[in-house]
A and B are shown apart, each in its own frame.
Chain A
Amino acid sequence: MRNALRQMSTLLKWLLLAAFALMILFPVVLTVSNSFMAEQEIGRHYDALGADSTATRDHAAIRLIPERATLSQYNEILLKRPKFLLHFWNSAKLTLPIIIGQAVVGTLAGYAFAKLVFPGRDKLFFVYLLTMLMPFQVTLVPNYLVAQQLGLLKSYGAIVLPGIFASFGVFLMRQFMSGIPNGYLEAAKIDGAGHLRAFLHIALPLVKPGIAALVLLSFVDNWNMVEQPLLFLSEPIRQPLSVYLAYIAEGARGVAFAASVLYMTPMVLIFLYGEEHLVEGIQMSGIKG
């Protein structure tokens, strides 16, 4: 009897979770499935959304299964619209340097905050923390002026450089570095090379999962960036895919689903490959110390 009751409650829980999961996954599933529809089919389902009064139906229709699965959207976007690949490349050019820079700067500074002793260390770390909490718009004007002074507005530097030094990388790596017992480092420090040796031979190998987590979380954030390019890059042709997709969604619904899928694919693949690191990174961001 008790056992049956327990099984019932597990089943109930499971059904609730499944319902939630369906709702959460719905936008992704719809985007992926519709990316395999031909342009005409997309047109029929969605033409109610346009200003065109010759629409075949009153309201947009949600269809998960294509009448005839085709790769024509992908064909169109990859082969006939070179602009798409250009914007994809823009996204990569913005994201990759930030991730690499953040990992290097963050790992070094994370070691300093976790394992070195210097006056004002904890206060300085608190200031780092505070800036992490502020929205981008707070320092918009001076960031723009600094970029202008340094002549960075013509390049992506105005976005990449502040990205590299964003305090999140330092914060996360400090959390991981704090987890290394001091005793491990003492052994390496004894023969004179000191912290440099301890960092390279002990700390760095041990925080590899931390670096992986930082790379993932930073990728998530920067691959999605919208505000910075919107305000700092005046030419539409230099916008990353995140901003460009908003335009396609308006104008070319017929290929926008495939474009969206291509845009999310690198993220999703890296996520599925490194989910454990991502989870660990999120947990670490929640541990104070």
Chain B
Amino acid sequence: MSHNAAMMGCEFERTRCGASSEGGTHLKRPSLQYRRDAPFVLLFLAPSLAGFLLFFILPFGAVAYYSLIDNPVSGHFVGFENYRILWASGSFRKAFANSLTFAGFGVPLLYAASLGLALLLRGKLPFRQSFRTMFLMPLVVPVASVILVWQTLFHWKGAINGFFLHWGSDPVDWMNTRWALAVMLIVFVWKNVGYNLIIFLAGLSNIPAEQYESASIDGAGAVRQFLHITWPGLAPTSFFVIVMSIVQSFKVFRETYLVAGAYPNDAIYTLQHFMNNMFQSLDYPKLTAAAVLLSIVIGVTVYILFRLERRSREALS
């Protein structure tokens, strides 16, 4: 019986059976396939790998190396001295704290907004498709082309303060106080909500409908259905959304620069501002040490999230 099946397999995959008749079993197959695929690996992967090594891996190694020497010209090894100087710098600590604060507020806010929209958008609804299109729009509208609007709204003499005064409350200096953080959070959510919405909608549609049907037969209300079916069913999606949101929150410089310029209020002076300014003042030791620290922070965060995800998936099954 098993022999027959193997023979049938041979008719479809002649090459593979030839290999096993040489005396090897399945164990031999991977290395054989390595050898068979090798020229193609070279052909398909070489262009990408060459560029990737030159523009990403080599630079990354160089950053780690530069962070341990005094400067690229003399190249004396100084151990962790650069890191000590970096940590002693007030502006670095401020930028670091701001980046963490921004992620700390921005990621949950973005998560809640996009999950909420996805829940509202699931199922049949008039103009569902048009809503999706509208929510995706900010993703394709360059921030540079709507900065005028943000400035008009949040300027000291902008429309919101005009509105506040009209209704008798005190104006707020949005861009020059800690409120700048709130403004950047709004821009962050505005820009990224569409992307996460799409991911969540896909995650929601992967939850089998029967689960909801049997739950509602058991008399479970909307809240219980959410807690027992939707929430656990979205776990893998949620982890991905959170990872991508953290990554995006560390890349918010683009928006901050366009709205607030190179020297924004202290509250939104992030690690990226710090690194750009170090680059422009040619302070490579501090910049490279900060780069290594930032990549460690991102790497560790992502690693922990992936571990958590695996554990929660194992707990489910």
Contacts and interface: CB of A to CB of B under 8 A. Distances in A.
A141 B142 contact: no
A261 interface: yes
Interface string B161-181: 110010000000000000000
A263 B58 CA distance: 35
B214 interface: no
B143 A224 contact: yes
A188 interface: no
Contacts of B37: 116-118, 195
Contact of B155 (A60, A143, A170): A60
Interface in B132-184: 132-153, 155, 157-159, 161-162, 165
Given A118-B41, A140-B287, A288-B240, A263 B152 contact: no
B112 interface: no
B142 A267 contact: yes
Interface of B: 12-14, 30, 33-34, 36-38, 40-41, 43-45, 47-49, 51-52, 54-60, 62-63, 66, 72, 117, 120-121, 125-127, 131-153, 155, 157-159, 161-162, 165, 190, 193, 195, 198-199, 202-203, 236-237, 240-241, 243, 247, 250-251, 253-254, 257-258, 261, 271-272, 275-276, 279-280, 284, 287-288, 291, 294-295, 298-299, 302
Contacts of B159: 59-62
Nearest to A104: B47
B55 A143 contact: yes
A271 B140 contact: yes
A161 B52 CA distance: 10
Given A31-B146, A116-B40, A109 B48 contact: yes
Give the 9 A-B residue pairs with the shortest CB-CB distance, closest first. A59-B162, A165-B51, A142-B59, A109-B48, A260-B145, A142-B62, A112-B44, A139-B59, A27-B149
Interface string A131-147: 10111111111111110
Interface string A47-60: 01100000000111
A264 B217 CA distance: 50
Contacts of A259: 145
Interface of A: 10, 13-14, 16-17, 20-21, 24-28, 30-31, 46, 48-49, 58-62, 104-106, 108-109, 111-113, 116-119, 127-128, 130-131, 133-146, 161-162, 164-165, 167, 170, 186, 190, 194-196, 199, 220, 223-224, 226-227, 230-231, 241-243, 245-246, 249, 253, 256-257, 259-261, 263-264, 267-268, 270-272, 275, 278-279, 282-283, 285-286, 288
Given A24-B135, A226-B253, A286-B240, 9 more contacts: A59-B159, A61-B162, A118-B41, A137-B291, A146-B59, A162-B55, A195-B44, A199-B44, A227-B253
Nearest to A224: B142
A243 B257 CA distance: 10
A60 B152 CA distance: 6
Given A21-B135, A27-B149, A108-B47, A48 B141 contact: no
Contacts of A116: 37, 40-41, 44-45
Residue of A61, A127, A130, A272 with highest tally of chain B CB at under 10 A: A130
Nearest to A161: B55
Contacts of A105: 47-48, 51
A199 to B, nearest CB: 7
Nearest to B285: A141
B63 A142 contact: yes
A241 B52 CA distance: 28
A105 B155 CA distance: 44
B150 A186 contact: no
Contacts of A21: 131, 134-135
26 contacts: A17-B125, A20-B117, A49-B151, A59-B158, A105-B51, A108-B48, A112-B40, A117-B33, A118-B38, A131-B56, A133-B302, A136-B251, A139-B291, A140-B287, A144-B279, A146-B55, A195-B44, A196-B40, A196-B43, A224-B143, A227-B257, A241-B144, A242-B144, A249-B147, A249-B151, A261-B145
